[in-house]
Amino acid sequence: MIVTDSFEENNLIAKEYKELLKISYQSLSKDDRKLIRLAFNISVDAHKNQRRKSGEPYVFHPIAVAKIVASKIGLDATCIASALLHDVIEDTEYDAKKIEKLFGKTICKIVVGLTKISKLKKEKDVSLQAENFRKMLLTLNDDVRVILIKIADRLHNMQTLDAMPVEKQIKIASETLYIYAPIAHRIGLYDVKSELEDLGLKYTEPDVFNEIKNKIEQTKDQQDKYIRSFSRRINEKLKKQDLKFKISGRPKSIYSIKDKILKKNISFEEIYDKFAIRIVYKSENENEKFIAWKIYSIITDYYTPNPLRLRDWITSPRSNGYEALHITVVGPGSKWVEVQIRSERMHEIAEKGYAAHYMYKQGKQTDNGLEGWLNRLQEVLENSDTSALDFVEDFKLNLYSTEIFVFTPEGDLKSLPKGSSALDFAFSIHTELGLKTRGIKVNGKIVPLSLELKSGDQIEIIKSDKTKPSSNWLDYVKTSRAKSKIRSALKEEKKILAEDGKEILRRKLKQLKIKFNEKSVNDLGNYFKLKTSLDLFYRVGIGKIDNVALKQFAASNNNRFINFFKKRLTTKKEINHLEDEVRSNFDQIVFGNEEEKLDFSIAKCCNPIPGDDVFGFITINEGIKIHKQDCLNSISLQSKFAYRIIKSKWIDSSQEEFSSAITISGIDNLGIVNEITKLISNSLNINMQKMSFDTEGNTFSGKITLKVKTKNILNKLIQRLRKINGIEKVIRE
C-alpha cells in the first residue's frame, strides 16, 4: 500500500512504477511482476518518512535505480526487486532477516552486499575511497549483480547531484570518474560509462563541460546533414543486397572530446571524429561475420578506407565481450569518418554488456569472456597483502588498457593488456610458473623478463625451482595479477628474514644491556626512522642495521628528547623559509569557510596563478599544496584523499606577479618573432623572463616564460597572439 504525504506524490510514484514495468529490457512473467510489486510496496513503506536533499520523497531514488537496472543495464526481475530494496536495510526498520523471509536468500544476499558497501569505516592512513573500491569489487565473490546495481545507484546519484553542496559535488564526481566509470567501461556498459564521465566532468570542470556542450549543440544540424549525405550513397546498395539494417549517427561524449583535446593538444574544431556512423544489421548468428565484411566491402567501394584504422573485434572480441567491425574512411568533403558495423546481437551486448551475454550465451566461455575476466579479477581481490592504494592504481591500469593476443608454445591464444611484459605472460599462465621464471624465449630467442610483448608473439617460459622474485620484478610487469603475486612473495620472504632479525636483535640488545620490549623496539624504530617493527627486524636480518649502528643508538643519551628538539628546530627553519617563499613568490590565498590565512606552496604539476580555480591538498611532509581545479592529478586526489582537501581561493592579485609559460607554433613568416615580442612588451606591458624559438622547414615553435599579474591578463595576451598572421596555436602550459 502506498502511503505518502500528498495525493499528487502518490500519483507520481504510481506512474513511475508503471513506467518501470514498461521499460524492462527482459520480458516479465506473472511471477516476476508479483515479485517487483512486493519489492515496490516494501520500498514505499520503508522510505515513507524519508526525503532526499532535493525535497522529493526518498522512494523516487530506489525506483529510478530500478529503472536504470531494467532498461540501461537490462537485468531481470530479481535485480529490479533488489534495486528497489537496495537502501531498505541501511536506512529503515527492515533488517536482513525480514528481507530474506519476504524475498528469499538471493535477493537478501544482493541487498546485504549493497548495504556492506555503504557502511565502510574510515581506516587510519588509508584512502577511504580505495578501500571502498576494493570492498565493492570483493562483492563479486558473492554476486556480480551487486556491482551492477551499485553502478546504477551511482548513475542516479550523479543525475541528481545538483541538490548537493559544491564541495560534495566535486568529491562524488571525482570518485565517479576515478572508480565507477572505469568499472562500467570494463564490464561493457558503454552508454552508462559515457553518461557517468560526462556528469563527472560537469561537476569537476563545469566551464570546460559547458563550453564543449554548447559547441556540440551549435554543430548538431551540420552533423545530421553530413550523416544523411554519407548514408545516401550506400543506403541503396545495401538494400539491393536484401540486407535489413539501420544507419544512425553516434555523437562522441563530451568527456571523450575533452580527453582528446588534452591528449592531442588540439582544439574542438580540429577533432575530426566528433561523431561516428553506426550500421546495425539483422542476421542469423552463423552469418554475422560474412555480412559484416560484405557491408565493409560495399562501404569501401564508395569511400576510401584508412588501413591503419581497421579494428576487427568480430574475429577477436574484446575481453568484455564487445564485438564490432570499426573502419575509418574518407567521407564527403574529404572528412575522416568512423563507421561501426554490428549485428543486432553485437549491438545488444555493446549496449547492455553483462546482461546481454546471458541472453545470447552459446555454451562454452573462452578465456577472453567476461566470466574469465571476473575469475582472474577475484584472484587479485582475494590477495590481502596488497595495499588499497596499490590495488586501485594497479587495477585501473588494466581497466583502460587495449589488448594484445599472444601464443603459448602449444599455439593456444592468450589475451593480455597492451604493454604487458614477458613476465606478465608467465604469471597469466600460473602463479608458481611466474615466481619460478628463470628466463623467457619469445619467438625462439631468449629475451629480458621486461620485454614488452606484441600481438602474435609466441612465448616459452624457462623455469627453475631455485629462482626467487626480486623487487625489480615489480618494474617489469604491468598486470595487477603479476604485481600482487610478486608483492606477496616478497612480503613472505621479508617475513622470514624479519623472524631471523628479531632473534639477532634480541641477542644484540642483551649484550648492550638494553631490555628487548615494546618500548625499546619503538625507540629503535624512531631512531632509524622506520615505520614498523617488521621493517626494523628485516633490516637487522639482512645486516643493514649492524653492531656499530646499535651501539650508536645505545650511546645516544636521551635520544628521544634530542630528536624532538632537532625536529622543532627543523620545523621552525622550514616555516621561516616557507614564509619567505610565500612573501616573495606567491599571492595571498585563504582557506576554508572562515577564510583563514595559512602557509602553502604551489604544486609544480599544474603551477596555478591568480584567477585560477584552486583547491588545497594537505600533504604528509610538505604542508598545504595548491592545485588548479582542472589539474591532471585533481580527480585522483579528490577521490582518494577527500578528507585532505581544503577549500581555497585567491583574494588579492594586484601587488604580485607570477611566472607562467606559453607555447606558440605556426608558419615561419619574416618578422613574426619581432611581432610577437612587440605585442607582449609594448601593448600589454608584460615582462618576458625567457624566450626560445626553433624553426623546421617553413614552420616554427617557441616557448615564452612571462611574469603576469592575473589569469585574465594572460588570457587576453593569448587571444591577441592568436590573431597574428601565421600563428596556428597558442597554449598555456
pLDDT tens digits, residue range 592-633? 776 677 888 888 888 888 778 889 998 887 888 999 888 888
Task: Assign 196 to helix, strand or coil.
Answer: helix
Residues 702 and 612 in one domain: no
Helix 60-67 vs helix 30-46: angle between axes, to the nearest 10 degrees? 150
Nearest of 356, 307, 262, 287 to residue 72 by alpha carbon: 356
Residue 461, in any domain of the structure: no
Q: How confident is the model at residue 654 (pLDDT cuts 50, 70, 90)?
A: very low
User: Residue 270 maps to which CATH number?
Assistant: 3.30.460.10
Contact 528, 501 (CB under 8 A): no
Write down the catalytic residue from 91, 100, 167, 613.
Answer: 91
Give the CA dihedral 387, 391, 392, 397, nearest 10 degrees: 150
Nearest of 651, 669, 501 to residue 586 by alpha carbon: 651
Alpha carbons 128 and 118: distance in angstroms, whole number: 12
Residue 106: all three cell numbers together: 538471493
Q: What is the pLDDT of residues 37-84, one digit of tens each?
A: 999 999 998 888 888 877 888 899 999 999 998 888 877 888 899 999
Residue 97: all three cell numbers together: 532477516
Alpha carbons 310 and 330: distance in angstroms, whole number: 13
Q: DSSP string covering 306-318, please?
A: -GGG-EETTTS--
Residues 147 and 284 in one domain: no
Largest CA distance in the chain: 97
Residue 319: all three cell numbers together: 575481453
User: Residue 723 maps to which CATH number?
Assistant: 3.30.70.260
Residues 27 and 117 in one domain: yes
Residues 75 and 181 in one domain: yes
Residue 385, in any domain of the structure: no
Residue 139, in any domain of the structure: yes
Nearest of 716, 725, 721 to residue 676 by alpha carbon: 721
Specify the amino acid at residue 588: Q
Mean pLDDT of 522-541: 81
Q: What is the pLDDT of residues 369-401, one digit of tens each?
A: 545 555 555 565 555 555 666 666 666 656 556
Residues 21 and 122 in one domain: yes
Q: How far is CA 209 from CA 180, 200, 257, 567, in A?
A: 19, 9, 10, 46
Domain boundary residue, one of 172, 205, 238: 205
Contact 127, 640 (CB under 8 A): yes
Q: What is the pLDDT of residues 77-114, one digit of tens each?
A: 888 999 999 888 876 788 888 989 999 988 988 888 78
- DSSP element (H, E) containing 208: helix 206-240
* pLDDT confidence of residue 380: 56
Q: How far is CA 185 from CA 237, 512, 644, in A?
A: 35, 60, 28
Q: Catalytic annotation on 32?
A: no
Q: Which of 295-304, 347-356, 593-602, 685-694 has the lowest mean pLDDT?
A: 347-356
Domain containing 304 equals 207-359
Q: How confident is the model at residue 367 (pLDDT cuts 50, 70, 90)?
A: very low
Residue 563, pLDDT > 70, answer no
Residues 666 and 692 in one domain: yes
Residues 614 and 552 in one domain: no
Q: Is the dihedral of CA 714, 715, 721, 727 positive or negative?
A: positive
Q: Catalytic annotation on 90?
A: yes
Contact 318, 403 (CB under 8 A): yes
Residues 342 and 262 in one domain: yes
Contact 25, 67 (CB under 8 A): no
Tell which wins on pLDDT, 421 or 707: 421
Q: Is the dihedral of CA 158, 67, 340, 279 positive or negative?
A: negative
Residue 551: all three cell numbers together: 651501539
In this prediction, what percent of the chain has a pLDDT beyond 70? 81
Residue 285, in any domain of the structure: yes
Alpha carbons 731 and 661: distance in angstroms, whole number: 9
Task: Assign 320 to helix, strand or coil.
Answer: coil
Q: How far is CA 414 from CA 363, 406, 424, 544, 591, in A?
A: 20, 5, 11, 43, 53
Which residues fall within 8 angstroms of residue 203, CB to CB, at 6 or more apart?
Answer: 161, 169, 170, 172, 173
* pLDDT confidence of residue 340: 94
Q: What is the pLDDT of residues 312-355, one digit of tens each?
A: 999 888 776 789 999 999 888 888 889 999 999 888 888 776 55
Which residues fall within 8 angstroms of residue 284, CB to CB, at 6 or more apart?
Answer: none
Count structural domains, the chain: 5
Residue 271, in any domain of the structure: yes
Residue 376, in any domain of the structure: no
Alpha carbons 532 and 68: distance in angstroms, whole number: 47
* pLDDT confidence of residue 4: 46
* pLDDT confidence of residue 572: 45
Write down the catalytic residue from 90, 312, 452, 574.
Answer: 90
Contact 412, 385 (CB under 8 A): no
Q: How confident is the model at residue 579 (pLDDT cuts 50, 70, 90)?
A: very low
Domain boundary residue, one of 328, 359, 390: 359
Nearest of 184, 132, 174, 635 to residue 391 by alpha carbon: 132
- Half-sphere exposure for 63 (CA within 13 Å, toward CB): 25
Q: What share of the chain is helix, strand, coil (3-state, %, to 5)?
A: 55, 15, 30
Q: How far is CA 446 from CA 107, 312, 405, 501, 590, in A?
A: 53, 31, 20, 38, 60
Q: DSSP string covering 118-135, please?
A: HTPPPPTTS-HHHHHHHH
Task: Assign 503 to helix, strand or coil.
Answer: helix
Residue 265, in any domain of the structure: yes
Nearest of 202, 223, 220 to residue 211 by alpha carbon: 202
The arrangement of strands across the sheet holding 658-667 comes to: 687-696, 699-708, 658-667, 727-732
Task: Assign 98 to helix, strand or coil.
Answer: helix
Q: How many C-beta neighbours within 10 Å does residue 669 have?
A: 14
Which residues fall within 8 angstroms of residue 344, CB to CB, at 6 or more apart?
Answer: 280, 281, 282, 283
Q: How confident is the model at residue 35 (pLDDT cuts 50, 70, 90)?
A: very high
In this prediction, what percent of the chain has a pLDDT beyond 90? 15
Contact 215, 376 (CB under 8 A): no
- Half-sphere exposure for 30 (CA within 13 Å, toward CB): 0
Alpha carbons 177 and 259: distance in angstroms, whole number: 13
Residues 551 and 671 in one domain: no
Q: Is the dihedral of CA 664, 668, 673, 678 positive or negative?
A: negative
Residues 533 and 662 in one domain: no
* pLDDT confidence of residue 293: 95
Domain boundary residue, one of 205, 232, 266: 205
Task: Assign 431 to helix, strand or coil.
Answer: helix
Residues 664 and 630 in one domain: no
Task: Assign 689 to helix, strand or coil.
Answer: strand
Specify the amino acid at residue 371: E
179 exposure class (CB count in 10 Å sphere: 0-12, 13-18, 19+):
buried
Alpha carbons 672 and 219: distance in angstroms, whole number: 33
Residue 559, pLDDT > 60, answer no
Estimate to the nearest angstrom the gap between the alpha carbon of 265 and the chain centroid: 21
Enumerate the H helices of 303-430 as residue ranges.
344-352, 354-359, 370-381, 388-399, 422-429
Residues 498 and 509 in one domain: yes
Residue 252, in any domain of the structure: yes
Which residues fall within 8 angstroms of residue 664, CB to CB, at 6 or more apart?
Answer: 676, 701, 702, 703, 704, 721, 727, 729, 730
Taking all residues of the chain, what is their mean pLDDT, rounded to a whole number?
79
Angle at 627 between CA 622 and CA 632, to 5 degrees: 115
- DSSP element (H, E) containing 676: helix 672-678
